[in-house]
């Protein structure tokens, strides 16, 4: 699939913002995404068993990461873009309904999970429903076709302080570039990206963070754009 080139400065910025994980961190990160995608809170002991590492080591790694959220029982319910708690971005994989922290999360997480995802969101200006099918290979379908996405470039210290407040709250799908442009003017520091460019940016982030990015791609045929999700979703 051909995707438009990404602005080199933006790609370099995102690489610095989400730096490469070491081999142990990569194992833990990918396993955590996939366990969370099963739709249940993830106990740290279960995660440790999944990756074959000691619970103490897994706990140490998680304690040093930002963007990991726990429930009252101490189990993981949210991790860097993927959540069990309801948000405005519904994210369906393998028949399970999950949620994403922001619009961009829905574009790069399918590659990490290795499956296609059905996304439902709403334009924050018009309120119109936006629906997508995203696979590890790109955006397969989108309704409306004119949909674009906003993006922001905070400092890494701001992400560590509160990733939702400084990053996720500024990244939305919009039904058109014109509507997004009005919103961008009211939110200094944000910009508009096409979906293809935003997906490609996520692909580069995954490649920079994970050595095995080629191995976490779905090998099954792409989802057909006429998936019933587009006919029946409300």
The reply to whether 102 belongs to the active site is: yes
| Domains of the chain by start residue, with CATH | 8-211 (3.30.450.410)
The strand order across the sheet containing 173-174 reads 173-174, 148-152, 190-194
Region 120-148: mean pLDDT is 96
Among residues 7, 63, 71, 105, which one is catalytic? 105
Q: What is the pLDDT of residues 13-39, one digit of tens each?
A: 777 777 789 999 999 999 999 999 999
3-state class (DSSP) for residue 70: strand
pLDDT at 162: 74
Place of tokens 């018009």: 126
Among residues 7, 63, 128, 168, which one is catalytic? 168
pLDDT at 232: 39
pLDDT at 228: 45
pLDDT at 220: 40
Q: What is the pLDDT of residues 162-203, one digit of tens each?
A: 777 778 889 999 999 999 999 999 998 899 999 999 999 999
> Which of 53, 72, 76 lies closest to 63 in space, CA to CA?
76
The reply to whether 168 belongs to the active site is: yes
The strand order across the sheet containing 89-93 reads 68-70, 76-79, 82-83, 96-100, 89-93, 117-122, 129-135, 138-143
- Answer yes or no: is pLDDT of 80 > 90: yes
Among residues 63, 102, 211, 231, which one is catalytic? 102
The reply to whether 218 belongs to the active site is: no
Region 108-133: mean pLDDT is 96
In the 8-state DSSP scheme, what is residue 204?
Answer: H
């Amino acid at each position: 699939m051909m995707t438009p080139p990404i602005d080199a400065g933006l790609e370099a910025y995102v690489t610095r913002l989400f730096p490469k994980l070491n081999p142990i961190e990569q194992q833990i990160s990918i396993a955590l995404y996939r366990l969370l995608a099963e739709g249940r809170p993830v106990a740290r002991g279960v995660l440790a068993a999944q990756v074959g590492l000691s619970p103490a080591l897994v706990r140490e790694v998680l304690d040093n990461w930002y963007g990991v959220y726990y429930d009252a029982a101490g189990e993981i319910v949210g991790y860097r873009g993927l959540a069990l708690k309801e948000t405005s971005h519904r994210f369906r994989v393998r028949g399970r309904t999950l949620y994403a922290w922001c619009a961009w999360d829905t574009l790069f997480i399918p590659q990490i999970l290795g499956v296609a995802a059905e996304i439902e969101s709403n334009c924050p200006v018009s309120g119109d429903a936006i629906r997508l099918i995203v696979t590890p290979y790109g955006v397969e379908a989108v309704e409306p076709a004119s949909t674009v996405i906003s993006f922001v470039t905070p400092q890494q210290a701001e992400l560590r302080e509160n990733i939702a407040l400084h990053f996720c709250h500024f990244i939305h799908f919009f039904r058109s570039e014109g509507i997004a442009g009005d919103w961008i003017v009211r939110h200094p520091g944000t910009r508009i990206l096409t979906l293809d460019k935003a997906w490609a940016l996520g692909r580069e982030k995954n490649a920079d963070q994970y050595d095995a990015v080629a191995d976490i791609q779905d090998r099954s045929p792409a989802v057909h754009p006429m998936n019933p999700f587009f006919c029946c979703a409300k």
